[in-house]
Homo-oligomer: A and B are copies of this chain.
Amino acid sequence: MRRLVNDPYEVVEEMLEGYCEANCDYVELLEHDNRVVVTKHPSPEPKVGIIVGGGSGHEPLFLGYIGKNFADAAVIGNINTSPSPEPCYNSVKAVDQGRGCLYMYGNYAGDVMNFDMGAEMAADDGIRVETVLITDDVYSSKVVEDRRGVAGDIIVFKAAAAKAAMGADLDAVKAAAIKANDHTRSMGVALSSSTLPVTGKPIFEMEEGDMEIGMGIHGEPGVRRTKLKPADEVVDEMLAYILEDLPYQPGEEAYVLVNGLGGLPLMDLYVCHRRVAQVLKEKGIKIHRALVGNYATSMDMIGMGITLVKVDHELKELLDYPCDTPYFKIEA
């Protein structure tokens, strides 16, 4: 394998130690639970607690988005594995300021089960916890509620966190998250698998020179496996799925995220973004803001995803709201 780790069974703990060391101005591990990363700067005014999480291997998702006016805590599972209920519960105890908490995470069965148990444990303590599942991956199911969450996570987290930072109550914060999710669609393409440190092998086999549009970030099946095509053709096909699923009228605005899955060069992401911008322009869709980079990865997987958010005045205000985390900064 081509990974640089020590004991593969300790890789998540060692990553968390390194992350909290490097970003010690922002975060720390919860003293009694080393799978919960919390902000060092809780809001001086009590606000709704923003808790995100899921399996490891998607860095900088989830822990990279803890900071001012963004997430208050991230609950960290093993690689591609949900965190267990206990840290989900502990995160609530750590960040609740008396106004309740919102759990947000990609829609995967293990996460749903364990976060729900965490919420029940918190309810026994009298703390209200609501949940919004992110379901942005258009190809993962015809039924929106059954879809998986991918890079759209960041959009939904950002919108809800801004609403919470503005002082809104839990119902309003949850409504902002649901609205952001409803307006967000993503589609991915993979050119390789990612490598599991424990086995030292790819999760699945993929021939060099092949690609699969629609593949999920854990290798869930996509549209079909084909020979690698030029970037523009790949982008066009991905955008067609996205824009069919949530059509835009000319004059409407999109917030764009071209997300690298880990191993694809930034050069290629910008080549792809160039085509995204061309297509949107042709269709009369204005780009409100564009993010290009590795925001939600699958370790060393070579591939990328396109996320479009149909933004109105409210979503623009939430997504542009100042924030400061190690991997997401918007200046005041």
Instruction: Tell me the bound Cα distance from A62 to B256 in angstroms.
Output: 23
- Interchain CB contact under 8 A, A2 and B329: no
Query: Which residues on A are within 8 Å of B, measured CB to CB?
Result: 1-7, 11, 14-19, 21-23, 56-57, 59-60, 189, 191-192, 194, 208-209, 228, 230-232, 234, 256, 258, 262-275, 277, 287, 290-292, 294, 297, 299-300, 302, 304, 324, 329, 331
Q: Which residues of B contact A299 (CB under 8 A)?
A: 265, 267
Instruction: Tell me the bound Cα distance from A265 to B263 in angstroms.
Output: 8
- Interchain CB contact under 8 A, B2 and A302: yes
- Interchain CB contact under 8 A, B266 and A263: no
- Interchain CB contact under 8 A, B191 and A21: no
- Interchain CB contact under 8 A, A274 and B191: no
Closest to A25 in B: B289
Instruction: Tell me the bound Cα distance from A5 to B3 in angstroms.
Output: 25
Closest to A64 in B: B266
- Interchain CB contact under 8 A, A208 and B21: no
- Interchain CB contact under 8 A, A5 and B59: no
- Interchain CB contact under 8 A, A266 and B60: yes
Instruction: Tell me the bound Cα distance from A14 to B267 in angstroms.
Output: 9
The smallest C-beta distance from A7 to any residue of chain B, in angstroms, reads 8
Given contacts A18-B292, A271-B18, contact A230 B5 (CB under 8 A): yes
Instruction: Tell me the bound Cα distance from A263 to B263 in angstroms.
Output: 4
Q: Which residues of B contact A300 (CB under 8 A)?
A: 263-265, 302
Instruction: Tell me the bound Cα distance from A17 to B203 in angstroms.
Output: 35
Q: Which residues of B contact A56 (CB under 8 A)?
A: 267
Closest to A59 in B: B266
- Interchain CB contact under 8 A, B265 and A21: no
